[in-house]
Amino acid sequence: MECLKYKITKQGEVALFNFELDEAIEPEDLKKIKLPDPVAEKVTDKAVVISGRGPIWLYGFIIHHFHPCMAVAVFDPRLGKAVIVESHSKKYTIGETININIGG
């Protein structure tokens, strides 16, 4: 049973990976989570912004998964922006914030 649902929304040079959990998860559930292929989703040339409520170890798992992308950021609702936490491009620097429409 898949406990994580997600949606990828492309917004120009940024792709929002918005997820939600159907139920509480445990660390061993990471083995069962199937995340989208960044190449097949055509997001490797984008900054991927991760948004959703989940444990920090789930965020680490998702950030690592999107490592092939141009940059990875996490949305911080207190800032109302995403913070770049990983980058392979001079266009994005670690700690930089970017605006993104989360919706809802």
pLDDT the model gives residue 1: 46
pLDDT attached to residue 46: 97
100, with CB counted inside 10 A (0-12, 13-18, 19+), is buried
Q: With pLDDT > 70 as the criterion, what percentage of the chain qualifies? A: 98
Q: For residue 103, is it within any domain?
A: no
- The answer to whether residue 61 sits within a structural domain is yes
Q: Is residue 24 part of a domain?
A: yes
Residue 104 pLDDT level (bands cut at 50, 70, 90): low
- Are the C-beta atoms of 95 and 83 separated by less than 8 Å? yes
Total-model pTM = 0.93
* pLDDT score recorded for residue 28: 94
* Model confidence band, residue 2 (pLDDT cutoffs 50, 70, 90): confident
Which domain does 37 fall in, by range?
4-98
57, part of any domain: yes
Q: How many domains does the chain have?
A: 1
> How high is the pLDDT of residue 6?
96
Q: What is the pLDDT of residues 18-64, one digit of tens each?
A: 999 999 999 999 999 999 999 999 999 999 999 999 999 999 999 99
